[in-house]
Amino acid sequence: MIAPARPVPTRVMVFVDAQNLYHRCRDHFGHPWIHPRSLADALVAEDRAKQGDTHVLAGVRYYTGIHDANRNPRGHSLMARRLSAYEAAGVRVLGIPLRYDSKGRAREKGVDVRLALDLFRLGSKGLYDVAIIVSEDSDLDPAAQDVYSLRDAERWIAVENALPWSPNSHTH
């Protein structure tokens, strides 16, 4: 099978695993927050520099856990304001309620599953040509492989990974 050429323009969608990004930015830069739209713009600009001026940003999706407003009003309020600012900049925010254990500790559950489902679903609908995954979670590998299975004689599609490496990186 001969794969078709990279489409022009090449539509890029960025999928951000917020917790992974938070930890890597903290480890790598000493500051945990980066605006996902700024990051996406920089990643697309880097692709343009490598591939020629063909890449356009098709969307930014930001996946994160969010505190229950009753259990942690301050944490919920802080995150809600941050997510509202991201949405105002055109980022599609997918806030997933945190789960709490018997000791009241918050745990993020389902974020990587939601990201993986959207990665494949949006790819199968033809809404992007390149997916950039901002995560080091190996649980996303099968979804990336499934996206590649969409490539055939008529459709070109690719998946990239972008995350600052640090000696403290954690692989899940």
Q: What is the pLDDT of residues 91-135, one digit of tens each?
A: 999 999 999 999 989 999 999 999 999 999 999 999 999 999 999
Compute mean pLDDT per 10 residues along the chain, 172 residues long, and list them. 84 94 78 87 92 92 96 95 96 96 92 96 96 90 93 90 60 46
Q: For the whole prediction, is pTM greater than 0.85? A: yes
Per-residue model confidence (pLDDT) at position 20: 84
Determine the distance from the C-alpha atom of residue 29 to the mean position of all C-alpha atoms in its chain, rounded to a whole number.
19
Q: What is the CATH number of domain 10-161?
A: 3.40.50.1010
Per-residue model confidence (pLDDT) at position 163: 66
> Under 8 Å CB-to-CB from 43, ≥6 apart: which residues?
12, 14, 132, 134, 162
Specify the pairing of strand 99-100 against strand 106-107. antiparallel
Per-residue model confidence (pLDDT) at position 90: 97
Indicate the average pLDDT of the chain. 89
Report long-range pairs for 4-9 (Cβ below 8 Å, ≥24 apart): 4/153, 4/154, 4/155, 4/156, 5/156, 6/51, 6/54, 6/129, 6/156, 6/158, 7/129, 7/156, 8/54, 9/54, 9/55, 9/56
Q: Kindly provide the residue ranges of all beta strands, DSSP E only, lying in the chain, ordered along the sequence.
A: 10-17, 55-66, 92-97, 99-100, 106-107, 130-134, 158-161
Per-residue model confidence (pLDDT) at position 51: 84
- Cβ-count burial of 59 within 10 angstroms (0-12 exposed, 13-18 middle, 19+ buried)? middle
Per-residue model confidence (pLDDT) at position 172: 44
Per-residue model confidence (pLDDT) at position 25: 77
